[in-house]
Amino acid sequence: MSINRLKEDLIELGRLGRKNQVETRNYEDLDMDKGLWRLEGNEQSKVSKDFIISKMKEAGLEVRFDRVGNIFGRKVGTDPNKRAVMSGSHLDSVKNGGQFDGPLGVISVLEAIRIMNEEGFQNERPIELSIFVGEEGSAFYQGLIGSEVLVGDKTYDEVEKIKNDEGKPLKEVLKDYRSDYEFDINSVEYFIELHPEQGPVLYNENTPIGIVEEITGITWVKAVIYGQENHSGTTPMNSRKDPLVAASDVVSFTDERVKELLSKKGGQTVATVGKFEVYPSATNIIPGEVELGIDIRDKVDENIKLIRNDIIKTIDGLESKYQVKTQVETLFHKPPSPCSKEVVEAIYKASETLNIQTRRMSSGAAHDAQNIAKKVKTAMIFVPSVDGISHSPFEWSRWEDLEKGVNVLTQTLKNLSQY
């Protein structure tokens, strides 16, 4: 494979995804730059899509957009009646994100296809590169929407109407990157997503490849607490309706409740208040409103529900404790999702052939693969994340690990496309 070609494409895609462009740079210093802001519909997203689409066409792929802006690129097979092998990931980033989360799983499929083209490899099954729209939930406030529509969890009509932070519907935001086409997921036999681990396991163990057997479940809860906006200097302490004081109870409760559960039962439950917006946010004003976004994840679905219900009870209790009004909504819930043993074994076999060390593991992060797994035999390939950091501008993966990841992916795609 060409590690230089992969590196150049990833670096360029990273450059296009940043707001602050730097003209010259040293590859290895890139993690010191400010993060990516490639949110669906923004300028960074458009130029990145244009770049990747031209690369897909250069590699001979048939490129199509579907109704909600998923992008597909097909390498036709020698047997057009066979169901496809699909592989891909997403291009959108979180706010101030890293350059590997998502793009790695897109560029590596492109590189795999370029290698096959150069070798004159003939795939029987079609190989389909997929770029799922809106994975991160950073523009539309709910994640994994592109893959949800493909497996029928949401309808195209519903997803076209989802609004971004500016209140614009997806259909309008993505007008240049959508069409009337609807992809048929039943035409796919296997799905593989290559992704950085986004946690510390592989890096700490110095194992280059993780094979994902299960993807953890996830719930997002949105809470809004309404108080009385008022003057900070004149309002006595005993007559305030301060939603920020109330909201801080939710933050500490979330952390303490999960730690209590872990100390009793062990396991890997995590919960985070990652969104905390204070309105109007001024030093001399008692806030009028606070919005919280809460993320709860576990491999055990009952634990997610338990923590969510306890958090909701705590929020309800704030009304009488602080004389505020509250509004709570579960934005989405995805149960843990097992991967296909057949695809796990195929990845293992490919790694063995290449003499690359692997370990089996579960994914703590959410991925489109967990939706696709409902309809298609699916597994994931992980590569190490330096220091386990992700969803941060400091996200980094070593080029030598990426090379192994792409080699394993290429070998697996070749094998599965010949079945």
Residue number, 94 or 318, with CB nearest to ligand GLV: 94
143 binds ligand GLV (CB under 6 A): yes
Residues 78 and 84 sit within 8 Å (Cβ to Cβ):
no
Per-residue x/- track, 57-96, Mn ion (CB under 5 A): ----------------------------------------
Among 247, 261, 344, 366, contact with Mn ion (rule: CB under 5 A): 366
What residues from 174 to 193 belong to the interface with Mn ion (CB under 5 A)?
Answer: none
Of the pair 143, 287, the CB lying nearest ligand GLV is at 143
Task: Name the binder of 146 from Mn ion, ligand GLV, none, CB < 5-8 A by kind.
Answer: none
| Residues shown for the chain | 419
Exactly one of 98, 102, 199, 243 binds Mn ion (CB under 5 A); that residue is 102
Element (H, E) at 252: helix 243-265
Alpha carbon distance 32, 115 (integer Å): 31
Which residue's CB is nearer to Mn ion, number 101 or number 160? Answer: 101
* Three-state secondary structure call for residue 299: coil
For the CB of residue 321, give the shortest distance to Mn ion in the complex, in Å: 35
The interface partner of residue 304, options being ligand GLV, Mn ion, none and the CB cut-off 5 to 8 Å by kind, is none
Q: Is 90 annotated as a binding residue?
A: yes
- The β-bridge partners of 176 are none
Cα–Cα distances in angstroms (integers) from residue 362 to residues 336, 345, 365, 371, 396, in the given order: 10, 15, 9, 15, 20
Asked whether the beta carbons of 102 and 395 are under 8 A apart, the reply is no
Nearer to ligand GLV, 220 or 226 (CB): 220
By CB under 6 A, tell whether 365 contacts ligand GLV: yes
- Which among 376, 229, 355 is positioned nearest to 288, based on CA atoms? 229
Burial letters 268-301, b for 16+ CB under 10 A, else e: ebbbebeeeeebeeeeeebbbbbbbbbbbbbbbe
Cα dist from 380 to 4, 331, 339, 347, whole Å? 24, 26, 8, 9
137 binds Mn ion (CB under 5 A): no
Query: Smallest distance from the beta carbon of 50 to ligand GLV, in angstroms?
Result: 23
Q: What single-letter DSSP state applies at residue 36?
A: B
**Pick 197 or 403: Cβ nearer ligand GLV:** 197
Q: In the structure encoding, which two tokens stand for residue 347, read together? A: 């990845």
3-state secondary structure of 314: helix
* HSE-CB of 39 using CA atoms within 13 angstroms: 17
Neighbours of 25 (CB within 10 A): 14
Tell whether 195 is in a known binding site.
Answer: yes
Selection from 166, 146, 174 nearest residue 158 by Cα: 146
- Token couple for 37: 């802001």
* Residue 366 engages ligand GLV in binding (rule: CB under 6 A): yes
Nearer to ligand GLV, 215 or 406 (CB): 215
Size of the site for ligand GLV (CB under 6 A): 4
C-alpha 82/C-alpha 105 separation (Å) is 24
Closer CB to ligand GLV, 132 or 203, in the complex = 132
CB of 78 to ligand GLV, least distance (A): 36
CB of 383 to ligand GLV, least distance (A): 15
**Residue of 136, 160, 214, 403 that binds ligand GLV (CB under 6 A):** 136
Dist CA 165 CA 175 (whole Å): 17
Residue 258 sits at φ, ψ, to 5 deg, of: -70, -40
197 in contact with ligand GLV (CB under 6 A): no
Give whichever of 128 and 136 is closer to ligand GLV, judged by the CB atom. Answer: 136
101 is in an annotated binding site: yes
Q: Scanning the structure block, which residue is given the tokens 């990273």?
A: 14
**Residue 188 touches which of Mn ion, ligand GLV, none (CB < 5 to 8 A by kind)?**
none
What distance in Å separates the CA atoms of residue 273 and residue 199, rounded to the nearest whole number? 19
Instruction: Report the residue from 40, 92, 101, 197 that binds Mn ion according to the rule CB under 5 A.
Output: 101
Nearest residue (beta carbon) to Mn ion: 101
- Which of 59, 128, 129 lies closest to 91, judged by CA? 129
Residue 271's φ and ψ, nearest 5 degrees, are -145, 145
For Mn ion, how many residues bind (rule: CB under 5 A)? Answer: 4
Is 391 annotated in some ligand binding site?
yes
Q: Site residues for ligand GLV, window 240-269 (CB under 6 A)?
A: none
When CB distances are held under 5 to 8 angstroms depending on the partner's kind, the choice from Mn ion, ligand GLV, none that residue 373 binds is: none
Structure tokens at 149: 């529509």
Shortest distance (Å) from residue 391 CB to Mn ion: 6
Residues found near ligand GLV in the complex (CB under 6 A): 136, 143, 365-366
Residues found near Mn ion in the complex (CB under 5 A): 101-102, 365-366
Binding-site positions: 90, 101, 136, 195, 391
Binding-site positions for Zn(2+): 90, 101, 136, 195, 391
